[in-house]
Structure 1
Amino acid sequence: MLASVPIEWLWLLALAATVIHCSAMATWIPVRRFRVAYPFVMVGCGAGAVAVGLSRFGPAAMLVMYAFTLIGLTIGLFPTRKLFMAYVHEIDNGVTPARFDHPRSHLVFCVVVVVALLFAGFALTR
């Protein structure tokens, strides 16, 4: 279904997903270096993922799966946003614990949402 859409719209979908995800992460982790570097990391990883999948799935499918995965990651990390802010404030105050504890339910929720949206994106490209 989405594979029949013109490729320009799929690039726009991937760009919108990247902007939404990077904006959310910049809000949840208010560190200047992170805000500057994270979009470049995400664009590099997305370009790598699209390039690796081109031979098997094609550019349209890879752009849809990239966009759906990023939106899934944004939704999946939503419950953890307050912990991210608390960890940043602790680090700013000089407290550097050896380990940051987080509920396993947050991890399970994130994985389930990302995988579900990845499968949804895959189903919509077939």
Structure 2
Amino acid sequence: MLAHLPLIYVLLMAAFATFLFCFALQRWMRIRKLAWVSLVVSIGCCLGMVAVGGLQRQHWSAQQMLVMYSFAWTGLAIGLFPSRKFFRQLADEARRGVRREDFEYPARYGWFVCFSVIVMSFLAFLLAT
């Protein structure tokens, strides 16, 4: 359904999902370098998804893979939302020079990230075919 839209609209969806994810990381952690690195990684993931979709046996189109990317990245941003205070605390400690021996990400946050990405990816699959 969404894959039948013109390419420019699907590219705008992907750009918005990338902006949402990078903006959220910048807002929660306040580390500008992290936002730029996440932008570069996001673009690489987007291009990788389009390339892998074209190499598969059923040949997913670029529009279908961009819809999948947009929904997955939006699901990632939504999934990281509950842990924003945890990320801000880690960033503040890092700015103050506090070194941690171990990094323990609470399981409830991890489960919510996985759940939201899976739900959004399933929804994207339904809307992309």
Q: TM tier, shorter chain?
A: over 0.9
Q: Does 1:76 align with 2:82?
A: no
In structure 2, C-alpha distance between the alignment counterparts of 1:32 and 1:17, rounded to whole Å:
18
Which residue does the alignment assign to 1:97?
Answer: 100
Equivalent residue letter for 1:8: I
Secondary structure class of the residue paired with 1:57 = coil
Deviates more, 1:62-71 or 1:47-56: 47-56
Cα distance in 2 for partners of 1:59, 1:36 equals 25
Structure 1: gaps (5+ residues)? none
1:54 counterpart SS class? helix
* Counterpart AA for 1:71: T
Task: Give the structure 2 partner of residue 45 of structure 1.
Answer: 45
Name whichever of 52-61 and 79-88 sits farther off.
52-61
CA distance in 1, matches of 2:16, 2:96: 35
Runs of 4+ in 1 over 3 A off after TM superposition: none
Unaligned ranges ≥5, structure 2: none
Q: Deviations over 1:41-66 (max 9, x none)?
A: 11112111111112331111100000
Residue 62 of structure 2 is aligned to residue 59 of structure 1: yes
Q: Deviations over 1:50-103 (max 9, x none)?
A: 111123311111000000000000000001111111001111112111212232
- Separation (CA, whole Å) in 2 of partners of 1:31 and 1:70: 20
What TM-score do the two structures reach when normalised by structure 2?
0.92
The alpha carbon displacement at 1:115 in A equals 0.6
> Who is 1:11 aligned against?
11
What percentage of residue pairs aligned between the two structures are identical? 37
Out of 110, 114, 120, the residue aligned to residue 113 of structure 2 is 110
RMSD (CA atoms): 1.1
Number of positions where the alignment pairs a residue of Structure 1 with one of Structure 2: 126
